Structure 1
Amino acid sequence: MVNSEENPNSAVSGISTGVIGMQDPLYLAPGDISGLHLVSAPFNGKHYVKWSRAVKMALISKNKLGFITGCYPKPEETAATYQDWIRVDYNVLCWILHSLIPEISESLMYVTTSKQLWEEIKERYCQANAPFLYQLRKDVMQTIQSDNQSVADYFGKLKSVWEDLQSLDGIPDCECGAMSKCSCTLLKKMLERDNRHKLIDFLMGLDNKYETVRSQILACDPLPTINQAFFRSTD
């Protein structure tokens, strides 16, 4: 029998449920302590979209995103992995709580799973989506290349706004698995449409001295990707 304090991948009860591989969501690395901070600056109630994206990226790196999305749900109490799942989920819950300022985390202490915690935070602080979405759309329309600005700097500024839009109002993820069986390439078409929108945004904001390049790009069939268009504009 292995003591749970010595082996981070043993069950809460102290009884090991078997060896857990590093690729398993139930695996905890030696540094995955409950007091871990997922982000450098704790969430203070503002800029929810950027904070949530940073937390998701941190959880993806630890193979734990499925705990908050529901893709890795709680098993039945009779399952061999039940205690391990509870232990890891509590770790994820603690990580998120430590990524909040005390005033917010204290009001969420009695949430029982990381998924419930994540949904509670989203419900509280993602209510102001409409004004933020309006501002981001406005920012896209108003982002143009200034006289002394390089194409790279202009593209980087525009790309930052696109990423915020993607986090707030991007193409939703398929959680039922139906998209993987889709035979009409719907996802591909949606991504192509998204690329077209970004391409037009980029070309509209280019300085007039790039008019020839802009016309050449628009004459392409099919249209290039946004990254290809950026490369052609920097030649």
Structure 2
Amino acid sequence: MANNEIRPIVQQQVAITARPEDTPSNPFYLHLNENPSLVLVSPVLSGPNFHSWFKSMRMALLSKNKLGFVDGSILIPSKDDPTYPAWQRCNTMVYSWLVRSLSPSIAKSILWLDNAVDIWKDLHDKFSQGDAIRMSEQQEEIYNFRQNSLSVTDYHTQLKILWDEYVTLRSVPVCPCEPQCSCQALKDVKKAYQNDYSIRFLKGLNDNFATVRSQIFLMDPLPNINKLFSLVLQHERQFNNPMIKLEEPASVFLTQGQ
């Protein structure tokens, strides 16, 4: 009998404390360490770096379970809705994070907007335009990029940054079928992108890699970029080590690539 009397009280306590903003998995939850002064990404948005900034900021908001406040998936509740105070706090927090990740001049241009979702859309509308022009610039930059005085590691890293931004602008097709079809078409497209990068990487290497490069081009299929990079890096180490005599290095690489 005593248990029957206590149970409604316990249930009432659970109902009172189980607020959305108190549940860590809920988007309305704010950790004690989160504050409006946080700078989530660096460098800040200056205009030309929009696509890399956009990707970094999106990942940062996703990691904090706050992406819904900018992509529109979390709707703005009415002011008499019980969740409105929690939404307002989170909206203000995300708003501050966005503003602090912008250059001063861009930040001034969005201060009249009230909600984080409006800032996100405004920035996208302003800076995602002209993608064809940016793609043509990047194609030329990638084509003209050479190793020169860079190490293989630094050359690969810098080229990969350029390439990743280009692919982001180009956007790899996504299968619209539900459920997704099992054909190889999209996998073949992604493989073609990877091969394009591998070829560009090899073509930009210095002339002392000419023999190795020619032998790798004879491989069918081309090794994936990680394997290819490992082979070229090993050759660089051998080339830079006077204690190691390079005898038919290309044949060695060809054997390793099989």
Q: TM-score range by the shorter chain?
A: 0.7 to 0.9
**Cα shift readout 1:123-168 (whole Å, capped 9, x = no counterpart):** 112334333322211111111222x443222212211211322343
After TM superposition, the structure 1 = structure 2 runs for residues 1-235 of structure 1, keeping only pairs within 5 Å, are: 17-18=19-20, 20-70=22-72, 72-74=73-75, 84-146=86-148, 148-171=149-172, 178=177, 181-235=180-234
Give the TM-score normalised by structure 1: 0.74
Task: Name stretches of at least 5 consecutive residues in structure 2 with no aligned partner.
Answer: 1-16, 235-258
Q: Distance in 2 between matches of 1:225 and 1:212?
A: 19
* Bigger fraction of residues in helix: 2
Q: Distance in 2 between matches of 1:61 and 1:89?
A: 16
Amino acid at match of 1:61: S
Change (3 A) 1:44 1:140: closer
Task: Name stretches of at least 5 consecutive residues in structure 1 with no aligned partner.
Answer: 1-14
Q: 23-32 or 82-91, which moves further after superposition?
A: 82-91
Change (3 A) 1:218 1:179: farther
Give the TM-score normalised by structure 2: 0.68
- Considering Cα pairs closer than 8 Å and 6+ residues apart, tell me whether 1 or 2 has the greater RCO: 1
Query: What count of residue pairs does the alignment treat as equivalent?
Result: 218
Q: Distance in 2 between matches of 1:79 and 1:188?
A: 46
Q: Distance in 2 between matches of 1:46 and 1:90?
A: 27
Q: Distance in 2 between matches of 1:31 and 1:81?
A: 22
Amino acid at match of 2:63: S
Identity %: 31
CA contact (8 A) 1:17 1:80 kept: no
Q: Distance in 1 between matches of 2:83 and 2:183?
A: 38
Q: 222-231 or 182-191, which moves further after superposition?
A: 182-191
Q: Distance in 2 between matches of 1:111 and 1:179?
A: 38
Any idea what SS the aligned residue of 2:75 has? coil
CA contact (8 A) 2:37 2:100 kept: yes
Amino acid at match of 1:211: A
RMSD of the TM alignment (CA)?
A: 3.3
Cα offset, 1:57, TM superposition: 3.3
CA contact (8 A) 1:67 1:114 kept: yes
Q: Distance in 2 between matches of 1:116 and 1:89?
A: 11
Q: 198-207 or 40-49, which moves further after superposition?
A: 40-49
Change (3 A) 1:86 1:19: closer
